[in-house]
Amino acid sequence: MKITLIPRITYRTVLIAVLFSFLVLPVSALCQVRIKDIARIKGLEERVLTGLGIVTGLRGTGDGTQATFTQQEISNYLRNYGVNIDPREFRTRNAATVVVTAKIPPFAKRGNTIDVTVASIGDARSLEGGVLVYAPLSDEVNNQVLAFAQGPITIGGLNVRGAGRENYPVTGNVINGATILQDIETSFTSDVGTSAAGVTWILNQPDFTTASRIAKVINDEFGEDAAEAVDPATINVKIVGKAGQKDVNINYIDFIAAVEQLTVEADIQAIVVINERTGTVVVGNDVKLLPVLISQGDLTIEIRPPVGAPALPPGQAAQTGSVAYFDKKAGSSIADLAAALNALGVTPRDLISIFEVLNANGSLKATLKIM
């Protein structure tokens, strides 16, 4: 895939020339990726843990009297230590009830620690400086407590108003705040112990072409019928030895490691993404343009060779004053347009306007996404 990033309009033409140069790199150099980078093994998903906790040590920025559940939570917590108190007899401005969430990775072992996120569910104004009290975290599917969380909360800096960017003081993180209580058993193989034993790879971005290519690459390495693409997102792979080897005592770990290191040319949809707020443009090299005349202010670009001139090499533009020409033979790519725009010193704002008009005109053969 060929990508260019156009920075804010203040960076102007110098950076445009540097970033557009990436568009003329060979496609094969950019599209050969490892299978592990575009697909995952089915069954190795993260598990979401949730729980309720109490944050203490706040400087009067905790829940008010309207959040009666916080008073009840604290009362129940103190009762565990032999302290009996009526929830209505104390204020909770130095404490807040929070929802605690975490993601536990596959194969996590007892004693490992993971980060947790906390978010106020009452009317607390800030969690800055608070400490999360011992909070059990459970798997929502099996309702089983798998970790406990506690520790000081960070909200990512001071809550600065005005010209600076304001953060969100009622949410925060506890780094390495949860301790896992047991080994997480994960099943990712099927038909274990049989000749049909295998794993299933799931593409991060489903695509018929990429799925077919992955199956072919695996079959070329491990023999015919080792892999089968069953749909745009799923590739079933048998656990086998390399071609000519016996499938005896095959190490699953070594086999999967070998598969995920295989490289494949990933196919992507022709797409142009524009962020009008930041002036950023991201384009793929497979974007094609139909013959068209572009006029933007004193800028003119025509997708055709100059009259009476020989055909131009791909990606090169002929310039005459403020007019650039390039050949429409076999369809012009975004790399050709980049060369022409670069030759004329186009600003990012002009580039965005050009893409929008090309899309409206139908000359841009790609999906245009504007953020």
Q: Distance between CA 159 and CA 1 in Å, rounded?
A: 41
Q: 16 CB contacts (<8 Å, ≥6 apart)?
A: 6, 341, 342, 345, 346, 347, 348, 351
Residue 161 has pLDDT above 60, yes or no: no
Give the residue carrying structure tokens 């005349």: 293
Tell me the pLDDT of the chain averaged across its residues.
76
Which pLDDT value is given to residue 164?
Answer: 52
Q: What's the confidence (pLDDT) of residue 10?
A: 33
What's the pLDDT at 335? 59
CB burial of residue 149 (10 Å; 0-12, 13-18, 19+): buried
Please report the pLDDT score of residue 23 as a whole number.
Answer: 39
Q: Which pLDDT band, with edges at 50, 70 and 90, does 35 fall under?
A: very high
Residues 88-113 have a mean pLDDT of 90
pLDDT category of residue 350 using cuts at 50, 70 and 90? confident
Q: Does 284 have pLDDT greater than 80?
A: no
- Beta strand ranges found along 26-154 (DSSP E): 32-34, 39-41, 47-56, 95-104, 113-120, 131-139, 144-152
| The pLDDT of residue 264 | 94
Burial of 268: CB neighbours in 10 Å, binned 0-12, 13-18, 19+: middle
Q: What is the pLDDT of residue 343?
A: 62
pLDDT of 177:
95
> For residue 307, what pLDDT is reported?
55
Q: Indicate if the pLDDT at residue 356 is higher than 60.
A: yes
pLDDT in tens, 40-99: 999 888 999 999 999 999 998 988 878 788 888 888 888 887 888 877 777 788 899 999
Residue 258 has pLDDT above 70, yes or no: yes
Q: What number is the average pLDDT over the span 264-291?
A: 77
Q: 103 pLDDT band (50/70/90 cuts)? A: very high
> Is beta strand 271-275 parallel, antiparallel or unpaired with respect to 367-370?
parallel
Q: Which range has the worst mean pLDDT, 170-174, 192-196, 247-251, 267-271? A: 192-196
pLDDT above 50: residue 28: no
pLDDT score of 134 more than 60: yes
What is the predicted pLDDT for the residue at 370? 78
Average pLDDT score over residue span 183-203: 79
| Average pLDDT of the residues in 344-356 | 73
Range of lowest pLDDT (65-74, 187-196, 213-222, 263-272): 187-196
